[in-house]
Amino acid sequence: MAKQLSECLQQYHLPKFENEWGNIRRGIEKESLRVSPNGNISSSPHPIALGSALTNPYITTDFSEALLELITPVSDTIHECLQVLENIHRFTVQNIDDKEMLWVTSMPCPLEDGAKIPIAQYGSSNIGKLKTLYRHGLHNRYGSLMQAIAGIHYNFSMPEAFWESYKKICNFDGSIQKFRTEKYLHLIRNFHRYSWLLIYLFGASPAACKCFTAGREHDLEELDEFTLYKPDATCLRMSNLGYKSEAQKSLFVCYNDLETYVDCLYEAIHTPYEKYSSIGQYSDGEYRQINTNLLQLENEFYSTIRPKRNVKPGEKPLEALTNSGIEYIEVRALDLDPYSPLGINEEQIRFLDSFLLHCLFADSPDCNENEFFEVGNNVNKVVEDGRNSKLMLDKQGTPKNIKEWSHELIEDISYSAGLLDSVHQTNNYYSSLITQEKKIDNPSLTPSGRMLSEMQEEKLSFYEFSIKQSRTHHQTLSNAKLDQITFSHMQKISNDSLAKQKIIEDSDTTSFEEFLNQWNET
């Protein structure tokens, strides 16, 4: 039942929830492989018409030249955010090769040899070479197949008007910067506790092409001669075959305070790791990785959520966090939705906003090492067996049924949904909860459940399902061209980015060797 505003305020011990607090600031980063009409990964360079992958704020690349990353600016309305994302998609499909399209599933297209995945290039500047070297390091450490996986990153922050008022409500004696940082860490701790629910509700990678497991141990089952899967899996993207690092398994990253978090990652970036030392930093006349430490950079730490801050030129992410505090959080637990042309939709965003707002307002005890690894174990269970309604998770050392716990969390989140419905004068946030609750009662309604049902009923391999959806969405995005004003704007941004890259390249005054040594020393 939808909650009244008074109930919601009482639940979170709030005297008010002002209208402007509902203007949540969000941005989306969406990854997609460029593929041929037959689903082969593109071997062509990043299209020049899309501008510079180093400096274009809307369109860049992730690990590979073929792995596009489409980025929206910050928006305080869901409609505007998705409209901009759609515009970026339409501009992209108009400016890639006529014979290419975007692969719409998180698990990659058929890939026979990781060495054939073209590593992203960022030009001749020192910072550009560093970005490419980082990716060579990922290739040498983990292989390229893992890096060809795609996902959605959802960036979330509360509006500026919220923080001063909320600081007074909490009787916090300190700066706004410190208060905001503490509350985002509060949110992150709760997110970790409950992130398995997002993986269950939105996981869309229950299967993969057989080639994805080549040369690696696994316990997947055969769906057909081309496809491996797990019957109740939700998100193999985050399984041991996906975005996981054996080297990071024992790494305990604490989110109780910013200094501890920064120190933990700083130590990992500066601690040699034997397996990576055996690869070497430099061999046969070329660099193989940025360094031989547990992490090359902060970004190599695989987490479902990150505290973030926009960095100034020459500033490192950990340095920016230390200097200026947390500015926003980045959710990294989301698969691409293969049933949406954009990989994400309005209803999902409403639930994410309700979920994250609940994480911000609900009690959030400090984490400890036992809970940290318990949470990781819960995520692993849901990744591999989440649609098994008898699955038992662990809640502070006590077994808890996934279905029962999911219903309890939806009830808790209904209070934050009530706050957002109240200020936006809708019932859309509550409706998004009802949609998710139906998935709890009927696992076949989840994206992973829908995918496997469709593949089994229509006798489709993972490849056949993915290519069908990719062609459908490509047609949708190609049918309506951008209006001239929007097209011209994005074309100008792309052209300007090429000029910016040239300026950066011309301004370098040191060799790359000197630049890399200085980078590793700080």
Nearest to 102 by CA among 470, 506, 484, 504: 470
| 46 DSSP assignment | P
The parts of the chain modelled with pLDDT lower than 50 are: none
Task: Give me the numbers of helices (H) and strands (E) for the chain, helices first please.
Answer: 17, 14
| 115 DSSP assignment | G
Q: CA quadruple 452, 456, 461, 464: dihedral positive or negative?
A: negative
The answer to whether 120 touches 135, Cβ cutoff 8 Å, is: yes
Q: DSSP of 369-391, one letter per residue?
A: HHHHHHHHHHHHHHHHHTT-TT-
- Confidence at residue 491, expressed as pLDDT on a 0 to 100 scale: 97
Q: CA quadruple 200, 202, 203, 207: dihedral positive or negative?
A: positive
Nearest to 180 by CA among 161, 165, 167, 193: 167
Statement: 5-15+27-510 belongs to CATH 3.30.590.20: yes
192/201 Cα distance (integer angstroms): 15
- Confidence at residue 512, expressed as pLDDT on a 0 to 100 scale: 97
- Confidence at residue 245, expressed as pLDDT on a 0 to 100 scale: 66
Q: DSSP of 309-351, one letter per residue?
A: -PPPTT--HHHHHHHH---EEEEEEE---TTSTTS--HHHHHH
154: helix, strand or coil: strand
Domain ranges of the chain: 5-15+27-510
- Confidence at residue 233, expressed as pLDDT on a 0 to 100 scale: 98
354/348 Cα distance (integer angstroms): 10
233/218 Cα distance (integer angstroms): 14
Specify the residue for token string 């599933």: 105
Tokens describing residue 407: 């219903």
Task: Indicate the Cα dihedral angle 340, 346, 348, 351, nearest 10°.
Answer: 180
476: helix, strand or coil: helix
The answer to whether 158 touches 18, Cβ cutoff 8 Å, is: no
Helix/strand/coil percentages in the chain, nearest 5: 50, 15, 35
- Confidence at residue 241, expressed as pLDDT on a 0 to 100 scale: 79
CA dist list (Å): 450 to 202, 208, 221, 290: 11, 15, 18, 42
Q: How confident is the model over 339-365, as pLDDT tens digits?
A: 999 999 999 999 999 999 999 999 999
**Residue-level length of the chain:** 522
Query: Angle of helix 512-521 relative to helix 126-142, nearest 10 degrees?
Result: 70
The answer to whether 422 touches 5, Cβ cutoff 8 Å, is: yes
Nearest to 82 by CA among 326, 308, 352: 352
What does DSSP say about strands 392-395 and 207-209: parallel, antiparallel, or unpaired? Answer: unpaired
CA dist list (Å): 138 to 132, 142, 143, 144, 250: 10, 6, 7, 7, 19
1: helix, strand or coil: coil
- Confidence at residue 215, expressed as pLDDT on a 0 to 100 scale: 77
Q: How confident is the model over 453-507, as pLDDT tens digits?
A: 999 999 999 999 999 999 999 999 999 889 999 999 999 999 999 999 999 999 9
The answer to whether 159 touches 24, Cβ cutoff 8 Å, is: yes
